[in-house]
C-alpha cells in the first residue's frame, strides 16, 4: 500500500473515532452518557481530529514526520478510549452496585482510534518508490 492509501484508511479511522466520541459511551437503565459529556471524551475527539489532519497531510505531501505525529495523537486517543472502556463505571462515577453498560460510541471510538494508530504507523514506515530515471544508452551510433 502507498502512504496515500494508508492515510485514507487512517482518516476514516479518525472520523469513526470522532463519531464514536459523540455517541453514547455508557448507559445506566434508560440514561445514556455521551463521550463528550466528560473531558475524556472531548480529548479523544480532539486527539483523533489532530491525528486525522496530520495523516491527511502525510498522505497529501508524502511526509513521514506527519504520519509519526499522527500516530502519537492516535495513541492518545486509543489509550483514553481503552482506559474508559475498561473502567466504564468510573466514567459515570457510578456506585459499586450499579450496573453500567457500554454504549456503541465507546466501541466505535476504540476501534476507530486503533485503525488510526495502525494506519499512521504503517504510513510512517512505508517506503515510497522514486521515479525511475532513464539513462542514455552507452552505445550510440557514430
Write out the DSSP string of the chain: --HHHHHHHHHHHHHHHHHHHHSEEEEETTEEEEGGGSHHHHHHHHHHHHHHHHHHHHHHHT-HHHHHHHHHHHHHHHHHHHHHHHTHHHHTT--TTS--EEPHHHHHHHHHHHHHHHHHHHHHH--PPPPP-PPPPS----
The 10s digit of each residue's pLDDT in 64-113 is: 999 999 999 999 999 999 999 999 988 888 777 888 999 999 999 999 99
Whether residue 44 has pLDDT greater than 70: yes
Nearest Cα to 40, choosing from 109, 134, 119?
109
pTM of the model: 0.86
Domains along the sequence of the chain with CATH: 3-125 (1.20.140.150)
What pLDDT is recorded for position 98? 86
Which range of 12-16, 35-39, 61-65 scores highest in mean pLDDT? It is 12-16
Amino acid at each position: 500500500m502507498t502512504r496515500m492509501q494508508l492515510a485514507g484508511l487512517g482518516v476514516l479511522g479518525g472520523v469513526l473515532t470522532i463519531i464514536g466520541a459523540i455517541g453514547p459511551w455508557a448507559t445506566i437503565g434508560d440514561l445514556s452518557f455521551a463521550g463528550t459529556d466528560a473531558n475524556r471524551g472531548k480529548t479523544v475527539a480532539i486527539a483523533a481530529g489532530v491525528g486525522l489532519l496530520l495523516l491527511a497531510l502525510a498522505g497529501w505531501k508524502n511526509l513521514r514526520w506527519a504520519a509519526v505525529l499522527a500516530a502519537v495523537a492516535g495513541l492518545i486517543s486509543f489509550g483514553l478510549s481503552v482506559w474508559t472502556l475498561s473502567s466504564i463505571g468510573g466514567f459515570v462515577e457510578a456506585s459499586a452496585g450499579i450496573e453500567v453498560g457500554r454504549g456503541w460510541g465507546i466501541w466505535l471510538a476504540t476501534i476507530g482510534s486503533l485503525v488510526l494508530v495502525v494506519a499512521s504507523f504503517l504510513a510512517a514506515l512505508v517506503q515510497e518508490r522514486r521515479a525511475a530515471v532513464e539513462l542514455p544508452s552507452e552505445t550510440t551510433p557514430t
